[in-house]
Structure 1
Amino acid sequence: MPRVYFYKLTVDSGAAPCVKNGILSLAICKPTIRATAQVGDLIFGFAASSLYSDNCLIYAARVTQALHEGRYFVDERYASRDDCIYYLKQGRFQRRKDAKFHDKPTDLRHDLGDFPEYLRANVLLSNDFRYFGNAATDMYKARFPTVACAVTELGRGQRVRLEPALRLEFEKMKNWIWMTTPEKVVGRPSNASRPGVCHRTKSCHMV
């Protein structure tokens, strides 16, 4: 049975998620989701209060492809994407000089893991998504109160072990979003991209 993940974004700058050419990708940040989510799973990203006070929905996506062992960063098809910020040199990943995100020395380890295994170098792709960005709203709250309550109570990290009622409401919410929003991309990233800005919360562990 497909799983449902949901979490809060503190920054929405085109890094995580990255939306380009009809594909939404999670290549950096949220290493636990990237390591465990599989094709068919649903991911919902809501705004943290520091981003938007109403916890509006930034994006929802169904995973359609999962790449492991750093394949995303060595595949030329993805080289022009803004979140493809690492490249392989003599068996080691390094940050691209023109990368827009994650310029701290600790970021590579957090994103990809330790050399030589790079166990965190997992990337999720979706061509079945809705991205709202700066056009995000909290309209879902009135129709899906169980989801709204769970999002409000969520702290740092993400949830995936959901009680049946909450899971069912998330599935209904996904269908409602797809039905009422035919466009994959509705808005633009809420924040400007800055290399020094951290695009992750302090904790990336499951709640």
Structure 2
Amino acid sequence: MNRIYGYVITHDTGFAPNPFGEFLTLATCMPVIRRNAKAGSWLVGTGSAVHGLRGKLIYAAKIDEVVSLEDYGRDSRFLPKQPSRNGDDANRQGDNIYFKDEEGDWFQRESDNHDCSHMDHDLSGKNVLVAKKFWYFGSQACDLPEDLQQIVQKGRGYRCTDSPEVIDRLEKWLSTYRPGIGAETLVSGSGSCGPC
């Protein structure tokens, strides 16, 4: 069953989710969502009230694939998602930080975002959610329309809906924006965001 998983992004750094490269990925944080979400469902990250962004869309992504953390760590498609201290934000914010050695023990690649104290929490999510089509507004977060405010989570945790009507409204509203990083309005007057 397709669902919308709405949650608050308290720190939007490009790490979780990671919108860089060919895919948007959620490989850390939000372990319950990563354990349970299926392909075809939606991720909706909204801003924090602390930062004055409550009810504003940071990103939305339709999940194409659910990959185990172990497979994500070794799949060649996701090598560009490994963090590197050299290069631009895309390199530094890489979320492909966990891998198993030949004995089956988990290790963590060096990351500016998570250290080993996050490992148990992250690994409990078991999966990485992968989206080919996504809308990432980041610091230019857009107000969600009033009829979509019901998917906005307040505080910790997440809000979930499987209402076909709400999913349809989300998809129609998002279709007025160009997908990708810095999504732009395609239809004049369709939302509160201009070019990001």
Provide TM-score, normalisation by structure 1: 0.74
Instruction: Give, in angstroms, the shift of residue 86 of structure 1.
Output: 1.7
CA distance in 2, matches of 1:34, 1:174: 21
1:148 — aligned with what?
149
| Contact 2:28-2:122 within 8 A present in 1 as well | yes
Q: 1:7 to 1:54 in 2, by over 3 A?
A: closer
**1:51 positional shift:** 3.3
* Residues 1:158 and 1:22: Cα distance change in structure 2 (over 3 Å): same
Q: Equivalents in 2 of 1:134, 1:24: separation in Å?
A: 16
Structure 2 contact 7–45 (Cα < 8 Å) conserved: yes
Indicate which of 186, 189, 197 corresponds to 2:182.
186
Contact between 2:60 and 2:136, CA under 8 Å: does it hold in 1? Answer: yes
User: Equivalent residue for 1:171?
Assistant: 168
State the alpha-carbon separation in 1 of the partners of residues 147 and 179 from structure 2: 26
What corresponds to 1:121 in structure 2? 126
Where structure 2 has 5 or more consecutive residues not aligned to the other structure, the ranges are: 82-93, 184-196
What are the residue-to-residue correspondences of 1:19-168 with 2, within 5 Å?
19-68=19-68, 70-81=70-81, 82-89=94-101, 90-97=103-110, 99-103=111-115, 105-113=116-124, 120-138=125-143, 140-141=144-145, 145-149=146-150, 151=152, 154-161=154-161, 164=163, 168=165
Summarize the Cα distance change of 1:137–1:127 in structure 2 as closer, same or farther, 3 Å threshold. Answer: same
Once structures 1 and 2 are overlaid, which stretch shifts more, 3-12 or 47-56? 47-56
Classify 1:72/1:158 alpha carbon distance in 2 versus 1 (closer, same or farther; 3 Å): same
- Return the letter of the residue paired with 1:70: E
Pairwise CA distance, 1:55: 2.9
Once the two structures are TM-superposed, the CA of residue 150 in structure 1 deviates from its matched residue by: 5.0
> Secondary structure in 2 aligned to 1:50?
helix
Contact 2:8 2:46 in 1 (8 A): yes
Q: TM-score, normalised by structure 2?
A: 0.78
Query: What CA distance in whole angstroms lies between the structure 2 residues aligned with 1:55 and 1:161?
Result: 16
Flag structure 1 segments of 5+ consecutive residues without an equivalent. 114-119, 188-207
| Amino acid aligned to 1:108 | M
Q: 1:51 to 1:93 in 2, by over 3 A?
A: farther
Secondary structure at 2:142's aligned position in 1?
coil
Distance in 2, matches of 1:84 and 1:150, equals: 28
Over the aligned positions, Cα root-mean-square deviation in angstroms equals 2.0
Change (3 A) 1:132 1:43: same
- Asked whether the 8 Å contact 2:39–2:65 carries over to 1, the reply is yes
* Per-residue deviation, 1:52: 3.5
- Flag as ranges the 4+ runs of structure 1 deviating above 4 A: none
Q: How many Å apart are 1:183 and its aligned residue?
A: 3.3
Name the CA distance, whole Å, in 2 between partners of 1:79 and 1:109: 22
Amino acid at match of 2:126: A
